[in-house]
Amino acid sequence: MRNLKLIIDCDDVLSRFIESWLKFYNIRHNDNKVLEDIHGWDIENYLTGCTEEELLGILDIPNFFRNVPSIPRAKLILGKLREAGHEITVVSDYSNPAQLVDKQYWLKTFMNVEKKDTMFGGKKEIVRGDIMIDDNPKNLENFDGIRILFSATHNRLATAEADGYHFRCDNWWEIEDLILGKDSNLIEAMLRE
């Protein structure tokens, strides 16, 4: 297989972002919500014990992003993808400069991703590559390459037919199989089309 350019989302693909957000929400608002309570992207519709401003304020807690756990096996598979010659670009959004610094720190510390291999901003549709891996179907809609939806509780109702992705991967083992392993012939065939 030729070397591929992979565009990979950070939050809830590499990091357990919503899980951490939910943990802080429950502590701050004396609630007991679980991931399974969140059925979509508009998290404020499911965490109703505070205002939207208070909910978003959790993301401004100093060092919030530095303490988010990683998705199991993400770092290992990123390393294998790099070793196979594939180019990795991690994309993510942020709402203030402190979040940007914290995410860059997190990516370097927990994923061995250098600043030069990141793109920060809200317009993922401008990023070009062969494969995009994201947990938000909307970010995959206008991507020209192969679109992989990374499963999360908030996207469990998404379907390939309605949301336009090619593959759904539940974990990094499946991504490894799809790009490097037994299913890599599917990717090769699609890229030849």
Residue 165 contacts residue 69 (beta carbons within 8 Å): no
pLDDT tens digits, residue range 126-151? 889 999 999 999 999 989 999 999 99
**Residues linked to residue 91 through DSSP beta bridges, in sequence order:** 9, 119
- 190 vs 23: CA distance, rounded Å: 40
Domains in the chain: boundaries:
5-16+70-192, 17-66
Catalytic residue chosen out of the listed positions 9, 12, 102, 134: 9
pLDDT tens digits, residue range 84-100? 999 999 999 888 888 89
Q: Which two tokens stand for residue 88?
A: 């990795």
11 versus 193: which is more confidently predicted? 11
User: Among the CATH numbers 3.30.70.870, 3.40.50.1000, 3.40.630.10, 3.30.300.30, which is that of 5-16+70-192?
Assistant: 3.40.50.1000
> Is 11 designated active site?
yes
How many Cβ atoms are within 10 Å of 43's Cβ, its own excluded? 18
Residue 9 contacts residue 139 (beta carbons within 8 Å): yes
- 153 vs 191: CA distance, rounded Å: 29
Q: Model's pTM, two decimal places?
A: 0.94
> Is 42 designated active site?
no
Is pLDDT of 108 > 90? yes
Residue 6 contacts residue 119 (beta carbons within 8 Å): no
Residue 132 contacts residue 139 (beta carbons within 8 Å): yes
pLDDT tens digits, residue range 54-82? 999 999 988 999 999 999 999 999 999 99
Note the pLDDT of residue 87. Answer: 97
Q: Which of 175, 94, 162 is nearest to 131 (CA)?
A: 175
Q: Which two tokens stand for residue 51?
A: 């205002």
How many Cβ atoms are within 10 Å of 64's Cβ, its own excluded? 19
Amino acid at 3: N
Residue 55 contacts residue 38 (beta carbons within 8 Å): no
